[in-house]
Amino acid sequence: AQSVTQLGSHVSVSEGALVLLRCNYSSSVPPYLFWYVQYPNQGLQLLLKYTSAATLVKGINGFEAEFKKSETSFHLTKPSAHMSDAAEYFCAVSDTTGFQKLVFGTGTRLLVSP
Amino acid sequence: DTGVSQDPRHKITKRGQNVTFRCDPISEHNRLYWYRQTLGQGPEFLTYFQNEAQLEKSRLLSDRFSAERPKGSFSTLEIQRTEQGDSAMYLCASRPLGRVEDKNIQYFGAGTRLSVL
């Protein structure tokens, strides 16, 4: 069975500081990996995805993530936080074949202070 | 492309009542997923449709839950005899079938928030 662990239910940064949200996954087969963002009372929006091509993946809004197989990690980073980045972030894993349900972590709430 | 639409956005009901939610996927998206998200948790998979066929159901989907997708277009999720533990956000997602570049990108609706009193 696949699973995702997100370390830190809350992360606080100052505007302009580096953002680092941690995600470790468990999968018996090579997975697809995703980061989604959720703003209050809204659905999930895809930030970026790893699908077995380049290990450094660039997404929207200046976010990127690096797939490290040896560490089973897929951490999300952004060089400089903006107030509008404050939201809930979810890491997810899926199979590469079959019906490919997404298995999500418990989420990390990013707080950005002025 | 108008996105995935879910209705209603909010539903308040009394314990024991039946409720039904609707999801309209992006046009021509053959695959449809339902997820449930409780407070402080990530979404959890409930069920999957490919066209009108329900191909996978989670153990979370008890006998009180039923989902349909007639004609492979919109989908409904019904909960019978609601319980307080059913209070959650119910999310629908869709994706197209057969596009190599798709790589399992699921497009989510805004969800239906259910409160069972």
- Which residues are CB-contacts of A86 (< 8 A; sequence separation ≥ 6)? A110, A111, A112
Q: Is B97 on the interface with A (CB under 8 A)?
A: no
Separation CA B52–CA B62 (nearest Å) = 20
Residue A15 CA, chain-centre distance (Å), reads: 19
**C-alpha–C-alpha distance, residues B61 and B76, integer Å:** 14
A75: left (phi over 0), alpha (psi -120 to 50) or beta: beta
Q: A4-8, B34-38, B57-61, B110-114: which has the minimum mean pLDDT?
A: B57-61
- Structure tokens that stand for B75 in this block: 């989908």
Tens-place pLDDT, residues B56-102: 999 988 899 999 999 889 999 999 999 999 999 999 999 987 666 67
Provide the pLDDT for residue B99: 64
B50 interaction partners in chain A (CB closer than 8 Å): 99
pLDDT band (50, 70, 90) for residue B1: low
Whether B42 and A32 lie within 8 Å, measured CB to CB: no
pLDDT (0 to 100) of residue B107: 93
Contact of B31 with chain A, judged by CB distance below 8 Å, is answered with yes
Q: Report the percentage of chain B scoring pLDDT > 90.
A: 79
Sign of CA dihedral A8, A10, A14, A18: positive
- Please determine, for residue A45, whether its predicted confidence score (pLDDT) is greater than 90: yes
Distance CA A66, CA A75 (A): 6
**Residue A92 CB coordination number (10 Å):** 27
Interatomic CA distance for residues B1 and B60, integer angstroms: 31
The pLDDT mean for chain A works out to 93
Q: Which residues, including other chains, have CB under 8 Å from residue B90's CB and lie 6 or more apart?
A: B6, B21, B34, B35, B36, B37, B46, B77, B111, B112, B113, B114
Provide CB contacts within 8 A for B61, sequence distance 6+: B46, B47, B67
Q: Read off the amino acid at residue B71.
A: K
- Chain A interface includes B89 (CB < 8 A): no
Backbone angles phi, psi at A37, to 5 degrees: -120, 145
Which of A36-60 are b and which e, b meaning 16 or more Cβ less than 10 Å from the residue's Cβ?
bbbeeeebbebbbbbbeeeeebebe
Q: Tell me, what's the pLDDT at A51?
A: 87
Lowest mean pLDDT among B4-8, B20-24, B37-41, B86-90: B37-41
pLDDT at A43 exceeding the cut of 90: no
Contact across the interface for A101 and B111, Cβ inside 8 Å: no
Q: Do B31 and A90 touch (CB under 8 A)?
A: no
Residues B77 and B99: their CA atoms lie apart, in Å, by: 27
pLDDT in tens, A53-76: 788 999 999 999 999 999 999 999
